[in-house]
Amino acid sequence: AQSVAQPEDQVNVAEGNPLTVKCTYSVSGNPYLFWYVQYPNRGLQFLLKYITGDNLVKGSYGFEAEFNKSQTSFHLKKPSALVSDSALYFCAVRDTGYNFNKFYFGSGTKLNVKP
Amino acid sequence: NAGVTQTPKFQVLKTGQSMTLQCAQDMNHNSMYWYRQDPGMGLRLIYYSASEGTTDKGEVPNGYNVSRLNKREFSLRLESAAPSQTSVYFCASRSPVHGGDWGNQPQHFGDGTRLSIL
């Protein structure tokens, strides 16, 4: 089965500094990867996805993600963090073949941006 | 545009009671999902429905049943609630299976049902 791992439970960054939230994946076949954000007491919101093509994917709210096939990573990045970016972030991978409608989520990374 | 609507938002049950969580989407999506979210474990798939009339088990289906009532609605039932089922439950939906970028559309989530079982 496919899987993703988010090695950091929490990431702390000062406002205005760049941020990175890490994700590594394990898939058989081509990876289809997603990032979501969750604010308190809300559902997940889609940020961006990698399907194929450019290794740098741009998404909502100024976020981008870098796909690295050799390192099996899909790290979420933002050049300048905002306090309002503080939230829980999830990486997800789509299954393949007959199970293409199934998704597997990481355990989540809490991002704290301090003023 | 409501998106994905879940009811109720909160519920407290006693062990052994039954309950149905409701989910409805107004985006004409074919695929619908039920997840549970527990601290440190991310989201785990309970059941999903790729299209109207079909349902499939996910990672943690034991203790749950689902019904795809029509294209809009997908319900999750706990027949005999257990404390281990205390969790936040999320429903999600996704774009049609066929046509266009069918395999790679993201999921749209409701705001969850917070369920406590005593």
Q: How far is CA A80 from CA A6, A16, A61, B66, B117, in A?
A: 21, 5, 11, 43, 42
Nearest chain A residue to B33 by CA: give it.
Answer: A102
CB contact under 8 A, B109 and A106: no
Name the pLDDT band for A99 (thresholds 50, 70, 90): confident
Write the DSSP symbol of residue B94: E
Q: Are A83 and A114 in contact (CB under 8 A)?
A: yes
Residues of A in contact with B104 (CB under 8 A): 32, 49, 51, 94
Residues in chain B with CB shorter than 8 Å from the CB of A90 are 42-43
**At B95, is the pLDDT very low, low, confident or very high (cuts 50, 70, 90)?**
confident
pLDDT tens digits, B3-46 = 999 999 999 999 999 999 999 999 989 899 999 999 888 899 99
Helix-strand-coil split of chain A, %, nearest 5: 10, 50, 40
Q: Say if residue A5's pLDDT is above 80.
A: yes
- Between B20 and A1, the more confident residue is B20
Tokens of B37: 């979210």
Q: What is the pLDDT of residue A26?
A: 94
Secondary structure E strands in A6-108: 10-14, 19-21, 24-26, 33-38, 44-50, 56-58, 64-68, 73-78, 87-94, 103-105
| B99 has a pLDDT exceeding 70 | no
Query: For the sheet containing B4-7, what is the strand order?
Result: B4-7, B19-25, B74-78, B64-68
pLDDT at position A69 is 93
